[in-house]
Amino acid sequence: MSIIRGIIILQFVCFCFASETTKAVSLKTGSQLAILEFEGWAISQPLTEFLTEEFRETVRDLKIFQVQDRGITNKFKIFKPRKRDYWSCWSEECALDLGRKLGVNYVLAGNIQKKGDDEFLIKGRLFSVDMETILNEFAMNSSGITDSLLLEMKKMAYNVSGLPVPDTLSVGSDLSQVATSEDIKQKRQWIQLPPIPSKIKALMMSTALPGSGQIWAERKYPGYGFMGTEATLGTAALIAYLQYDKAWGGFEKTYSDYQKGSDPHELIELRPKIIQYAADTRKYNAFMKNIRSVGLSIWAVNMVHAYLVAPSDDFFDGEYFFDLEYKTDVNQVQFNVNF
Amino acid sequence: MSIFNLLRVRIPVLVLCSFIFFTCDDATYDLDNPNDPENMDLEPPALFFHPSEIDTKLDSSFSMQLYGLKLKPAAAAHLDIRYEYGSVQIDSVVADTFFQSLNDPFQIVDDDSSGTLDYFIYLLPDTVAEMNEGGTWSLATVYFTAISTGGSELLFGENTKLRDANNDSVAVKSFGSGFINVE
């Protein structure tokens, strides 16, 4: 009887403690991302492989997702051994299935389609394996050569990672993003100003701060050279100005004393000081004027240099403000303005 | 790197570069103070009256300094001052800094009240020097009283001379004049 009673009491105590104990349960998702090889439509396989790998590298560098290595991701050929039939994973079911098999939290599938002679359409879908849904869908237009296509892929990497596209990539962005998940917070939309051409931007930057346009255009050595030269000249001008200011202060005081003075002994002693101070102010002022001439010349050269070394925007030709173009057939430089 | 980041991290450089645009005014001046001996048309070494012109009123007292311009070292002086008798009268003469040493200078004032003042002044040697270093200094101050209206001139007479410690003559190339206008 006492044993039964003891068991009952023990059960009761366990029940009481159990009711007070809670276990924190949270839905925690990882950041493992598998980027499936992009499907190429009317594009060579080496090019799609190259672009996909560049895309992987960019996403990996952004450190938002842990991008699965190409070798592991391509194992899905083993799971689904269908040669060049990746487009089938465009569907949610296929992507989630592959994601589970690859042991990742996200899967990104996409394709690159050639639309015209120089026009490409890049599409991508980001699937969440944990939430079993499409998180985001991307579509980007690219016109031009392979470099432009690569640029668009990098932009897409930023979008996939949820990061703002940097200025160096955003010039000429033709991005349309379709959010399919309500949970994804949209970034604040600011007033969109017309895009500034890279050359003009570099020119403006170097106008404001010598060398900054070159640095922005990844020409760091000339940039730092211009910046250092101007800073050195500025320092020399500053030192000259301080010396001038000191001489000017002395001049003003002694000249004022001279004009007010009446003692010949004092006046005859002030006279050479005034002449010396005035000579000093002229000397330092002349030095500053020379520095200004040299500095402004270098500043102008720096502006022209920044314009020349900044990258040309392919998209920009004839579509926005203006374009300078050398026409070989007529042997003329043409200035085109477009609004 | 965005424009703003670029500017933010390089603001000191921007500030330095801005000094390139700095230029200022050149100092201009006119050394035209009438009390400046250089403006008195005197060839140094010289003796002159300071101030060279005085406007005063009847029965009022005023003073004039007997000034030396770029004088050589001297130990004594005989200053022969000519003034217009009946226009002003001399009240006193006081030695100034030129012959001052650790000892006060020795002086003799001989005013015959007829328009000639003979003033003798001697530097009394001390442990440092037996004559002064020369230069532009006041030798003495003469105190006058205006006794009649009108203008009168002050001149250095021909007996004016300076001597050094060896009793050699100290050159004086030119003499200034003074003018007193009593209203």
Identify the domain containing residue B165 by its residue range.
44-182
**CB–CB contact B31 A274 (8 Å):** yes
Distance from CA of A32 to the nearest CA of B (A): 29
With respect to residue B33, please indicate whether it lies within any of the assigned structural domains.
no
Asked whether the predicted pLDDT for residue A186 surpasses 70, the reply is no
Q: Counting beta carbons within 10 angstroms of the beta carbon of residue A107, is it exposed (0 to 12), middle (13 to 18) or buried (19 or more)?
A: buried
Full DSSP string of B116-129: EEEEEEEPPP-SS-
Examine the pLDDT at A57 and tell me if it is beyond 70.
Answer: yes
Fold category of A32-192 in CATH: Rossmann fold (3.40.50)
Look at residues A198, A227, A166, A206 and name the one whose alpha carbon lies nearest to residue A323.
A198
Which of A205, A230, A245, A256 best probes binding to B when mutated, by most B CB atoms within 10 angstroms?
Answer: A230
Tell me the average pLDDT across A23-52.
72
Residues of B with CB under 8 A from a CB of A: 1-3, 6-7, 10, 13-29, 31, 33, 35-38, 50-51, 67, 69, 135-138
Per CB-CB distance under 8 Å, the chain A contacts of B51 are 262
Question: Taking 80 as the threshold, does the pLDDT of residue A289 lie above it?
Answer: yes
Domain-located, residue B114? yes
- Name the strand (E) or helix (H) holding B143: strand B135-146
**Residue A114 predicted with pLDDT over 90:** no
Within 8 A by CB and 6+ apart from A254, the residues are A270, A273, A274, A277
How far is residue A97 CA from its own chain's centroid? 35
Q: Specify which residues A257 forms β-bridges with.
A: none
| Number of domains, chain B | 1
CB contact residues (below 8 A), chain A span 246-305, against chain B:
247-248, 251, 255, 258-259, 261-265, 267-268, 271, 274-275, 277-278, 281-282, 285, 288-289, 291-292, 295-296, 299
Residue-wise pLDDT tens digits, A82-96: 554 445 577 788 888
Is the CB of A268 less than 8 angstroms away from the CB of B14? no
Length of chain B: 183
The per-residue pLDDT for range A142-179, each reduced to its tens digit, is 766 556 777 777 888 888 877 777 777 655 444 444 44
Residues of chain B positioned with their CB less than 8 A from the CB of A285: 23-26
Number of H helices, E strands in chain B: 2, 13
**Tell me, what's the pLDDT at B122?**
92
Q: Nearest CA to CA, how far is A334 from chain B (Å)?
A: 30
Domain membership of residue B107 (yes or no) is yes
According to DSSP, residue B85 is labeled: B
Residue-level pLDDT at B136? 92
- Burial grade of A120 (CB within 10 A; 0-12, 13-18, 19 or more): buried
Give dist(CA A99, CA A130) in Å, integer: 9
In terms of Cα–Cα distance, which of A59, A108, A98 is closest to A77?
Answer: A98
Task: Write the ipTM.
Answer: 0.85
- Where is pLDDT greater, at B12 or A308? A308
Using an 8 Å Cβ cutoff, are B68 and B45 in contact?
Answer: yes
Residue A17 has pLDDT above 60, yes or no: no
What residue ranges in A60-164 does DSSP mark as E strands?
A: 66-67, 106-114, 119-128, 133-143
Residues A281-301, mean pLDDT to the nearest whole number: 91
Q: pTM of this prediction?
A: 0.55
| Alpha-carbon distances, residue B97 vs A13, A303, B132, B175 (angstroms) | 115, 67, 10, 19
The tokens describing A312, both together, are 């040309």
Domain for residue B14, yes or no?
no
Confidence of residue A9 (pLDDT cuts 50, 70, 90): low
- The b-or-e profile of A288-305 (16+ CB within 10 A means b, else e) is bbebbebbeebbeebbeb
Are residues B33 and A244, on separate chains, in Cβ contact within 8 Å? no
The shortest CB-CB distance from A262 to any of B2, B7, B35 is to B35
Residue B45 pLDDT greater than 70, yes or no: yes
- The token pair at A311 is 């990258």
Quick check: A196 contacting B, CB < 8 Å? no
B158 sits in the region (left: phi over 0; alpha: psi -120 to 50; else beta) called: alpha
Q: pLDDT, tens digit, for every residue of B113-145?
A: 788 999 999 988 888 788 888 899 999 999 999
What is the C-alpha separation between A6 and A178, in angstroms, rounded?
Answer: 65
Q: Which residues of B touch A248 (CB under 8 A)?
A: 24, 27
Q: Which uninterrupted H or E stretch holds A211?
A: none
Task: Tell me what the pLDDT averaged over chain A comes to.
Answer: 76
Domains of chain A, by residue range, sit at: 32-192, 205-312
Nearest CA in chain B to A291: B20
A237 close contact with B: CB closer than 8 A: yes
Tell me if B73 sits within 8 A of B164, measured CB to CB.
yes
Q: Residue B4 falls within a domain, yes or no?
A: no
CA distance B134 to chain A (A): 12
Full 3-state SS string of A155-192: HHHHHHCCCCCCHHHHCCCCEEEEECCCCCCCCCCCCC
Which residue out of B21, B23, B28, B137 would a mutagenesis test of the A interface target, given it has the greatest number of A Cβ atoms within 10 Å? B23
Mean predicted confidence (pLDDT) in A234-256: 92
Can you give the CATH number for the domain in which B105 is found?
Answer: 2.60.40.680
- A241·B10 Cβ contact <8 A: no
Q: Which residue has the tokens 């897409």?
A: A156
